[in-house]
Amino acid sequence: MNRHIISAMSIAIGIGATSCGTAGIQRYPDAPQTPDTIDTYFDLEVRDLYRPLENDTSAATLAWVEAERKVTSDYLATIPFRKDIHRRLTELLDYTKTGMPWKSRDGYYYFYENDGLRNQAVLYRTKTLGDSAEVFLDPNLLSEDGTVALKGVFPDNSNRYTAYTISRNGSDWEEIYVMDNQTKELLPDHVNWAKFTSAAWHGDGFYYSAYARPENGTEFSTENTNHQIYYHKIGTPQSEDRLVYEDPAHPYYFHNVWVPESENIMILNIGGNGVGNAMKIKDLRRPDSKWITIEPTQEKSIDVVDVIGDSIIFMTSYGAPNNRLMTASISKPERPNWQELVPNDPEGVLIGAQSADDKLILTYQRDAAHHAALYDRKGHKIRDIKLPGFGQVGFSSDKDDKEVFYSFTSFLSPSAIYRYNTETGTSDLYRATEIKDFDMDDYVTEQVFFTSKDGTKVPMFLTYKKGLERNGKNPAYLYGYGGFNISLNPAFSAQRLLWLENGGIYASVNLRGGGEYGETWHEAGTKMQKLNVFNDFIAAAENLIDEGWTAPEYLTIEGGSNGGLLVGACVNMRPDLYAVAIPRVGVMDMMRYHLFTIGWNWAADYGTSSDSAEMAHYLHDYSPLHNISDDGTPYPAIMVTTADHDDRVVPAHSFKYAAALQAADTGSKPKIIRIDSNAGHGGGKPVSKVIDEYADIYSFIYHNLGIKPSIAR
């Protein structure tokens, strides 16, 4: 499983008279409305005033978008230090970023590298590490503006061909191309409308996952159903691809397949309707073989680690809230035949496992930081793998090779790559990352624990400049997510350095709903317990204030996607705690989120408004769109962000939320929306767009905190 590393109109509108008096903004655009649109959820009636904004291709919506863009552009243009922030961010991001190498069967080492400000990392290969490497695939050549991103590369098992997936403008839609490994020339093979896919090679072709082509004009908003598995034979058109698997009785399932290098079996992962995934296996050596179920439900997670001989090694949460390592025979893989290899660890969450020569490397998460250890194949621990500190680690290894690499990163450590010796347990630095004109030793990260509303202890990482005084006057940037079993581990971000060098505190909080403490922690922030997530975040803000790190007039909160929901909900609940809020690509309409693209997939965490009257009321009571104050309560300065090609969280969420904010009486601070073009939810975003976006975000923050950053000339 570790051999194949997956990387990655202008229409005029009149300006209305809503929200007058906002600082720096005279008027906001009138949004298209349908006052009579009322939805009924059991006993609950909900008016959806801005329903027209759900149609992102209508003339009215496009006109409103252009008008909002002008308001935002005009506002940001008045900030005198915006160009200085853009310049400094460009300097900070101009450093070489090198990924871990992995060794292919053709004898080459492959690795990604961005030598500075390229929009996309380039895939290189070399026979000997340290020697000059040749370009294998450069996604920067696939578009003029860097908006085509390389999502994954999948070499066949003979190393003759490589299939690779791309996405355009940040969309989740993927295309598959095939290239000749020796000549690096493209084959005529081209697959469209793939989504959430790999390319699993078998024989002279590969399996992939796709949806039916959407109707014109609905490509980025229509509901995606009936995820299918196809087989594409090299040299044939997509129209001849063979349908291998579908489940029309369950249209809201995801399907993805994996084939080991032996090509003797196919593993089918099934998700989309629970907190985990189901799994089936099929013998590819017999054309008439049937699917055998390994894991029948989606209530527990299961991930194949490796196939060694007749044995499957896999990680699962079944019978183990913190996950455990199991093994089963290919011929008898059902649950009753599973055997435990490494048991559940109550002190840490098993988050990864992989083969390394004749051993196994296991990665655990304890208090939101990574720890790793080496085991033999019988499940006996050999030794811990010592890591440099609080951070996260990733390994590149294989069952047929003694060579092991790992990368380590933290809030103050850009990715460093090490060679690891499985015999001696020693690590040697292979490649460090250097950033000019920034001394990491001047800063420190510490972990604190605070008490949430219901008495739960919650961890938070604080990063700041050494010698910082707790005088209640420090600008603080509080970031959170809290959902979908996703953990916020210490990780590096070059754009964050601008905040730190200007005396700011960066606080990353590990909310319930995440995976930091296993499935119990995750479930404590889902469905009818979602308020725990918001209460944790509010308690984090209060802790920063109570402990003297900052004060409400210096506090910024930010989150993206599910974190955008977090920010929107917490602003409604406690607008007095923050000076600035940045809800990015957020889920803002909790009553209708499940009706667009793959929103239905989030129901396991959120529940839906159609589940029950109780669930409908619960969602409505915290939905950011539906709980904006309109009684003059002062809100923080808010900049909403979204993008025109976001087909994960469709821009209608942010459109409707921004329109409602601007129409409401929430005080004099600005409420603007930044709508990016030729961009999506965030994955594969070009470096140039990252710099532009964060220049706007930081400019907005500093301007509304009343702080002139020291880099301003």
- C-beta separation of 76 from 696 below 8 A: yes
Q: Which of 361, 356, 492 is nearest to 416 (CA)?
A: 492
C-alpha 500/C-alpha 626 separation (Å) is 35
DSSP class of 663: H
- C-beta separation of 245 from 271 below 8 A: no
Q: Which residue has the tokens 């005529």?
A: 188
- C-beta separation of 137 from 131 below 8 A: no
- Active-site residue, 681 included: yes
Distances (CA, A) of 189 to 149, 151, 443, 457: 19, 17, 51, 54
Burial track 573-599 (b if 16+ CB lie within 10 A, e otherwise): bbbebbbbbbbbbbbbbbbbbbbbbbb
**Which residue is catalytic, options 232, 371, 653, 681?**
681
Please classify residue 373 by burial: count the beta carbons closer than 10 Å to its beta carbon, then call 0-12 exposed, 13-18 middle and 19+ buried. middle
- C-beta separation of 702 from 708 below 8 A: yes
Per DSSP (E only), the strands in 413-501 are: 413-420, 427-431, 443-451, 457-465, 476-479
- Active-site residue, 703 included: no
The side-by-side arrangement of strands in the sheet containing 324-329 is: 302-308, 311-316, 324-329, 339-342
**Which residue is catalytic, options 561, 623, 654, 699?**
561
- C-beta separation of 97 from 433 below 8 A: yes
Three-state DSSP class for residue 523 = helix
- C-beta separation of 616 from 495 below 8 A: no
Q: Which of 190, 705, 177 is nearest to 477 (CA)?
A: 705
Quote the tokens at residue 161. 């061909």
**DSSP one-letter string for 363-404:** EEEETTEEEEEEEETTS-EEEEE--SSSSEEEEEEETTEEEE
Quote the tokens at residue 141. 């050549």
Distances (CA, A) of 379 to 21, 242, 320, 358: 67, 40, 16, 12
Strands 109-114 and 97-98: antiparallel
Q: Which of 214, 125, 225, 300 is nearest to 599 (CA)?
A: 225
Query: By 3-state DSSP, what share of the chain in percent is helix, strand and coil, each rounded to 5?
Result: 20, 35, 45
Beta bridge partners of 557: 478, 581
C-alpha 85/C-alpha 462 separation (Å) is 23
C-alpha 62/C-alpha 52 separation (Å) is 11
C-alpha 463/C-alpha 222 separation (Å) is 41
Q: Which residues are catalytic?
A: 561, 681
